[in-house]
Structure 1
Amino acid sequence: MAADMISQRCIVVGNTVTGVCTANMAVAMRCDSGKVQLVAVPANHTSIEGTLSTTNIIMANWSRAMWQDVSNRAVRMLAGGPFGSHFFSASGNVDGN
C-alpha cells in the first residue's frame, strides 16, 4: 500500500479528541481496515501555533502593545470558552516583525 494512502485520523468522543488511529484512505473513514488500534494523541498535535498577518492599512500600523493586547484577549477567550478545559496552557506572543 502506498504511503500517501495512509493518514492519521482523530477519534472524537463528544467534543474531545480521545485518540488517533492510522486510517486506510482506500477504505473510507475506517481505521486499519476496520481494526481500530488507538494510540495516544502525538505530542506534535497537542501544540497549536500560528501566524497572523494583515494587509489592512489601519491594523498594519497598530503598535506592538496593541497587538499584544489582542493576543492576550484571544488567550483569555480561548481559556474561558467551551474548550478551555481541554488546554493545559495557552499563551500569545507578538513578534516585532
Structure 2
Amino acid sequence: MYVAYLHKLRAGFAAAAFLLSLSLCGCATSTGSSPMDARAEMPARVKPGTYLPVEDLPPPRKNPAMTAEQRSKLQGELTAARDRQGAAAKAQGGPIRD
C-alpha cells in the first residue's frame, strides 16, 4: 500500500513538472511571428528632417567661445570662491576637502 502511494506521488510530481515546463515554454515563444519576420515588426522609420544625422556637424565657430583673458579671469574667480568656501568650512570645524 505504501509503495502504491509513492508511485501515485511520483506520478503527480511528474505531471506537475510536465505542466510547469509547458507553461514556461509558452512564455519563451514569440508573439506568433517567426524570428524571420523581425523586419516586419520594426517600427516605421523616422521622417527625414526630424533628427539631425550623426555625421552632420555644425560649422566651426568664427570666434572662440572664450578668449584667453576671459578664461584666466574665470579661473581666478573660481579659485577665489574655492578658497573662501574652504576657509569658511575650516572656521566652522567642518571637513575640508581638496
Per the TM superposition, whether the score is higher than 0.5 is no
Instruction: Report which structure shows greater RCO (CA 8 Å, sep ≥6).
Output: 1
Higher strand proportion (structure 1 or 2): 1
> Is the radius of gyration larger for structure 1 or structure 2?
2
Higher helix proportion (structure 1 or 2): 2
TM-score, normalised to structure 2's length? Answer: 0.24
TM-score, normalised to structure 1's length? Answer: 0.24
